[in-house]
Chain A
Amino acid sequence: MTGSSFIAISLLALILVGLLVATRNTSPWRHPDEPSEWRHAELIYAEKLFKEPLVGMVARIDRAYRINGVIELVELKTRASGRVYASDVIELSVQRVVLQEKTGKAVSRRGWVLIEHSTTRRRTARSVMLYDTDEVLRLRDRTRQLREVANRVTLTELRGPSSPKACAKCGQRTRCTARLM
């Protein structure tokens, strides 16, 4: 086989393989559990703990991908509904601030909540917009403040859950007198 016929056959093979791939029923990047953005992403952290005394916070990152040169965080949750809660967004936002401070690398304001259904175990990934650093530090300060006053504060003075249904699954429901008022 001559060199020119090799090049011609190489190109023909590329086209044939392309046609084979194109006529498949499913995309090679489609996976029932994962968004297409992750298919060519580089996995850089998994279950990794980051401590950053500078911001007084610690975060365990379930998974972090590098997508188009930027780090994006993934938080796994198991629950019966596919809903994303404010607590998910806060948790990812804290992780983002800790990781940025610890490594100096840019972390995307877009994060992912991967929800695994508690019975079917089917996973759904939802992208969320994370809070900025100032908002995260405000939440950190509020947490400290609540801990400091925990033994003096009246529960009714504090913000309750956004939905009364949340109380049914709360670990502190038997001690919480505010829910009865």
Chain B
Amino acid sequence: MSSSSERISRGRNDDRLISASEIAELGFCERFVVLTARHGRRHDPPDVSAARERGNRAHEEFFNESVAIANGQRTPSKRPCFMEMRVFEPNAHELVILRRMRDELLSRTVLGRWVIALYDKACPWLVNASEHKPAWAIATLRRSLSAVALLASLALRISPGAGRAGP
């Protein structure tokens, strides 16, 4: 009986790579796999060709959507982050923890996702409103959020100093 790693290594001896879609055809019909190996895919019936064309167009649109999603993903230049712009330094360890808290804790629950949306919507206002605020007010917020980050690091089991930039 061969182990998984031994079975994987057998792929090295085969120059021809098999595609995922070719292997997937096994799930449809073994006869189809054999007939395709014998005759190829030329001269597909018109309905099959039309379906393939439709699929290709859908994939093209899907890819364009993916590009749009990637371009629209949150970046500091597109969506101001209040904590990053006013409270902490851009590379602060607390920001890393708070982002992980957002992605790994808050985003898993409905309530947490509401909190994330609330923060996202409030950020532009907070950034503008805090522009000329006294330093002690920002410092109070920083201490409060640092405490939240500390609790989050415990919940996430992150070492308090892990990932801290600089010496």
Which residues on A are within 8 Å of B, measured CB to CB? Answer: 1-4, 6-7, 9-10, 13-14, 17-18, 20-22, 28-29, 36, 39-40, 42-43, 46-47, 51-60, 62-63, 68-69, 76-78, 85-92, 94-95, 98, 101, 114, 116, 118, 133-134, 136-137, 139-144, 146-147, 149-151, 153, 155, 158-161, 166, 169-176, 178-179
Contacts and interface: CB of A to CB of B under 8 A. Distances in A.
Contacts of A161: 28-29, 32
Contact of A101 (B8, B23, B125, B140): B8
Contacts of A55: 8, 11
Contacts of A173: 45
A10 B23 contact: no
B96 to A, nearest CB: 14
Given A140-B23, A159-B29, A62 B126 contact: no
Given A43-B73, A53-B17, A151 B38 contact: yes
Contacts of B39: 172, 175
A146 B17 contact: no
A107 to B, nearest CB: 13
B160 interface: no
Chain B's interface: helix, strand, loop or mixed, by majority? helix
B164 interface: no
Interface string B20-48: 11111111111111111111010011011
B70 A58 contact: no
Contacts of B36: 171-172
Interface of B: 4, 7-12, 14, 16-39, 41, 44-45, 47-48, 51, 54-55, 58-59, 62-63, 66-67, 69-70, 73, 102-104, 107-108, 113-114, 116-119, 121-122, 125-126, 129-130, 133-134, 136-137, 140-141
28 contacts: A3-B133, A4-B137, A6-B129, A6-B133, A7-B141, A14-B119, A43-B73, A46-B63, A46-B70, A53-B17, A54-B11, A56-B16, A59-B19, A60-B19, A77-B55, A78-B54, A87-B27, A87-B28, A94-B20, A94-B23, A98-B20, A114-B62, A136-B23, A137-B8, A141-B7, A153-B34, A155-B35, A160-B30
A6 B71 CA distance: 34
Contact of A68 (B14, B29, B103, B140): B103
Contacts, number: 228
